[in-house]
Structure 1
């Protein structure tokens, strides 16, 4: 496709969002894409069984929006992988950008130029496997979206104590290195908005589909690092995120999923038979946390 001045227009950047009754958020995301990049985009709604009809309606109204039913509520990472597989033919045919694609939650709104800033950051390093933006909450504060990968001790301490004692030393250690003022490498980046290099995605096999939700972005970032890629945070790109609205609405599902994913992440990294006691302590601690949260009415 050529622009009016005769130059060739770049192939659309694929943008993948996982939808589950997204309501008012998805139209706002679609609208914000128009100013977020000078490139054309193709928004793929990997739908996990929505009943509100919003994703289908937007796909009917916009040529650059695709409705892709996944067949049920298969989880966040699996839905992204499903969209990536569905895009393979378009990618091979040059119908979408062959270098990058964007993963984004449906409750995100982009600021002007934010996607272009992500791409510029990725192009500055050939080993950038994923690039994440500054994520701002409704009150304008920055969400700590670029962190170090938790080890066993800090992971357990943070998971068990943070809801009841936010200032505990384990959570303080877990949140160390949350500098959001400069471009830098991180252990992992929030999956709520992530520019991903196709080559890196293919190299590690995409998201681990054993994670229904939560920790799939930590696992993804950790596996990128282990494979020699970089996770880069850039404050030049800014998005707004209605953080956690779905989690609060479906807490009966999301709270157990969080605990199960936390266990899987650490258990995978302590897989040997002689580490069985470690896995047992981890499992017991997370189950105890879940019970305590239920008793206190926190999900």
Structure 2
């Protein structure tokens, strides 16, 4: 492994998160870092400010809000097409991360150090902490029909259900190991593997694109490896808090796309109808509850 570490991040009016992201990168690696900001239509001026303040930042305008996976794909393609960037960057790996990540000491170096131990791994993910210091269950099983479906349908109402616990692997002690998929909020990706599966599936505007990527990497013979010696903090404030109802609806749309893809035969049509109906009912319940809470908060 040689060359600069190339870090791709996707912005959509990220506010102060982006500066914390960039300022903390110096703690994450001893190697030089080139940051590519794939901007999906920010209006707050922070990507432009970052490009002026940090000489290692390249700002690329997507021209519209393309969603996370599409913006990453285009930024990676543009980086590889740029002779200067392609020559300076690591030929084997690059990092994809949300702009509301704060990097822990040696977090990128620890991910890179794991790569020789797992030559068949296409993706590596760190231990992710929530702002309160708790560990976010970012290394999970693939959502099988029963496990994933029950988690999606009953998870918001029955927090301790066994399907969610199994899916999230939240009762396991953190250890370096292969998993079903890794959170897309921070990934070290092997370029050969990413190219082999044609990157992120651009049908996913937001949510489930990382689940889908992990599944397709595994189907192509690559591993997804959890590396808890690397730690980052994920503030989750970049987009999820702006319109919870819209985001919940988008999550369910992506969940249906993922499950329907994997149960696409004509004999499984009744199963797909059942999944769609169950998710639609959950959307109505959860979104309705979210909007009532927001309305109640505005009237106080």
Same fold, TM-score > 0.5, yes or no: yes
SS at match of 1:210: coil
- The gaps in structure 1 that reach 5 residues or longer are 1-8
Which residue does 1:4 correspond to in 2?
none
Which aligned segments of 4 or more residues in structure 1 are displaced greater than 4 angstroms? Answer: none
Per mean C-alpha deviation after superposition, the further-off stretch among 191-200 and 286-295 is: 286-295
1:50 and 2:42 aligned: yes
1:184 and 2:177 aligned: yes
RMSD over aligned CA atoms reads 1.7
Which residue does 2:202 correspond to in 1?
209
1:11 and 2:14 aligned: no
How far apart are 1:175 and its partner, in Å? 2.4
Choose which of 72, 89, 100 in structure 2 pairs with 1:96: 89
Q: C-alpha offsets along residues 84-119 of structure 1, whole Å, 9 cap, x if unaligned? A: 111112468522111100000100011111100000
How far apart are 1:63 and its partner, in Å? 1.8
Aligned length: 291
Q: Is the 8 A contact 2:165 2:171 kept in 1?
A: no
How far apart are 1:178 and its partner, in Å? 5.6
Q: C-alpha offsets along residues 199-233 of structure 1, whole Å, 9 cap, x if unaligned? A: 00000000000000101000000111111101000
Mapped partners of 2:244, 2:288: distance in 1: 14
How far apart are 1:297 and its partner, in Å? 2.8
Mapped partners of 2:169, 2:233: distance in 1: 23
Mapped partners of 2:87, 2:214: distance in 1: 27
Instruction: With the length of structure 1 as denominator, give the TM-score of the two structures.
Output: 0.93
SS at match of 2:178: strand
Mapped partners of 1:90, 1:245: distance in 2: 28
Which residue does 2:156 correspond to in 1?
163
Mapped partners of 2:269, 2:86: distance in 1: 48
Which residue does 1:223 correspond to in 2?
216
Q: C-alpha offsets along residues 125-151 of structure 1, whole Å, 9 cap, x if unaligned? A: 211100000001111110001000011
Mapped partners of 2:16, 2:165: distance in 1: 35
Which residue does 1:75 correspond to in 2?
67
Mapped partners of 2:230, 2:82: distance in 1: 27
How far apart are 1:170 and its partner, in Å? 2.3
Q: C-alpha offsets along residues 242-295 of structure 1, whole Å, 9 cap, x if unaligned? A: 135521212243111101000000000011111100100000000000011133
- The gaps in structure 2 that reach 5 residues or longer are 295-300
Which residue does 2:235 correspond to in 1?
242
Mapping of residues 85-124 of structure 1, within 5 Å: 85-90=77-82, 93-124=86-117
Q: Is the 8 A contact 1:156 1:285 kept in 2?
A: no
SS at match of 2:246: helix
How far apart are 1:61 and its partner, in Å? 2.0
